[in-house]
A = this chain, B = another copy of it.
Amino acid sequence: MIRVGLLGTGRIGSLHAESIASHRESSLKAVSDINDESANELAAQYGAIVKSADDVISDPNIDAILIATSTDTHSDFIEKASSAGKAILCEKPVDLSLPRAKKCLDKVSAANTPIMVGFNRRFDPNFAQLKKALDNGEIGKRELLTITSFDPAPPPNHIWKKSGGLYRDMMIHDFDLSNFIMGELPITISAVGHSLINPEIGVDGDVDTAVVTMVYADGKIAVIKNSRRAAYGYDQRIEILGSEGLLQAENIIENSVVKSTNAGVLSAKPKYFFLERYIDAFRAEWDAFVKSINDHKPIPVTLEDGVAALAMAEAATQSQNTGKSIQLKEVL
């Protein structure tokens, strides 16, 4: 039984709390949050105790730390929890600053504690099935990957202003997903992006609509498309052309009802947002973390993976600003 301390009891923290508590081989023992009320409420629900973050980390009765606090605290908590010898699952992104993330990686690599970064989409059963079919060679060699990833609506202004920008905050999921699917990092990254939805985003130098094209060592190509707004819900699709066919992971829709009337044939929309769409992925992510620790197997998403995705976001930002293709190795 893995005894878990949870740092951060907001929306994502609560979601993880449920996965931890409902898993047969883990239990939620302690929580911490800068908001006392939120921490107390979650603790009461699952019979955990409330402590300061430092006390959670140093508690000898805690085996693993789940970091779901604000991004600017991730690197510090990773370093502390690693020093304390805990297994760590840290929400994405590792940091908004690539140098800080790299420093963190340097610092903890000696400790050899299990550290996993929370790129939950790798654990979505549909994407995992697509990956498996690819690895089985069911469509031959990989040639052209397209990831479509549109949020239902942009975040409130005060949120995106400290988000680090679309590439570091939103597309970072897709960068990691492309690494997962392609099985390697790209060589060059080109980005175009604009603020089509919210002009204020553009004033701040950020974008809300973007396309990134990446080329790999052997010439294969990946395209990532992001928009902060899809009026019809959370659009999350993968499509990859191979030498012998095409694999697509389609959207998951709200229900299976189809209505045919004089107005046409109407089906349900995609599930609204990540809480609805990726609920199974979050559970599978936690299960994978637990299994890695219990079975002493390699962590499926490493801190190196987290740093790589952040570097890709950095390269995309540079490409957008300069209008040139960026070599990933220049950034890494």
The docked-state distance in angstroms from the alpha carbon of A166 to that of B269 is 37
Beta-carbon contacts under 8 Å, A96-132 to B: 125-126, 129-130
Interface flags for A38-63 (1: CB within 8 Å of B; 0: not) read 00000000000000000000000000
In the bound complex, do residue B241 and residue A262 qualify as a contact, i.e. CB atoms below 8 Å apart?
no
Complex interface: chain B residues within 8 A of A143 (CB): 196-197, 209, 227
Beta-carbon contacts under 8 Å, A189-226 to B: 190, 192-197, 209-211, 213, 215, 218-221, 223, 225
In the bound complex, do residue B257 and residue A126 qualify as a contact, i.e. CB atoms below 8 Å apart?
yes
Q: Answer yes or no: A284 CB below 8 A from chain B CBs.
A: no
Set B141, B192, B246, B256: member contacting A260, Cβ < 8 A: B246
* Given A22-B22, A325-B323, A257:B265 Cβ within 8 A: no
In the bound complex, do residue A130 and residue B265 qualify as a contact, i.e. CB atoms below 8 Å apart?
no
Beta-carbon contacts under 8 Å, A240-255 to B: 241-253, 255
Closest to A245 in B: B261
This chain: how many copies in the complex? 4
* Given A221-B192, A223-B211, A266-B266, A126:B243 Cβ within 8 A: no
Set B129, B195, B259, B267: member contacting A257, Cβ < 8 A: B129
Complex interface: chain B residues within 8 A of A267 (CB): 264-267
Set B210, B262, B269: member contacting A265, Cβ < 8 A: B269
In the bound complex, do residue A269 and residue B264 qualify as a contact, i.e. CB atoms below 8 Å apart?
yes
Taking the nearest CB of chain B, how far is it from the CB of A260, in angstroms? 4
In the bound complex, do residue B259 and residue A138 qualify as a contact, i.e. CB atoms below 8 Å apart?
yes
Closest to A253 in B: B265
In the bound complex, do residue A264 and residue B266 qualify as a contact, i.e. CB atoms below 8 Å apart?
yes
In the bound complex, do residue A246 and residue B235 qualify as a contact, i.e. CB atoms below 8 Å apart?
yes
Complex interface: chain B residues within 8 A of A129 (CB): 255, 257, 268
Number of interface residues of A (CB under 8 A): 72
In the bound complex, do residue B265 and residue A231 qualify as a contact, i.e. CB atoms below 8 Å apart?
no
Beta-carbon contacts under 8 Å, A256-285 to B: 256-270
Closest to A221 in B: B211
* Given A143-B209, A211-B144, A323-B324, A246:B259 Cβ within 8 A: yes
Q: Answer yes or no: A14 CB below 8 A from chain B CBs.
A: no
In the bound complex, do residue B146 and residue A265 qualify as a contact, i.e. CB atoms below 8 Å apart?
no
* Given A192-B190, A196-B219, A241:B211 Cβ within 8 A: no
In the bound complex, do residue B209 and residue A211 qualify as a contact, i.e. CB atoms below 8 Å apart?
no
Complex interface: chain B residues within 8 A of A160 (CB): none
Set B133, B209, B229, B256: member contacting A249, Cβ < 8 A: B256
Complex interface: chain B residues within 8 A of A253 (CB): 265
Can you list 22 pairs linking A and B with CB atoms under 8 Å apart? A22-B22, A125-B255, A130-B257, A188-B192, A190-B192, A192-B213, A192-B215, A195-B219, A197-B243, A209-B221, A211-B221, A211-B223, A231-B246, A231-B260, A231-B261, A232-B260, A244-B261, A245-B259, A247-B260, A250-B256, A252-B256, A323-B324
9 closest A-B pairs by CB? A194-B219, A245-B261, A232-B260, A250-B256, A246-B260, A265-B267, A126-B256, A248-B258, A264-B266
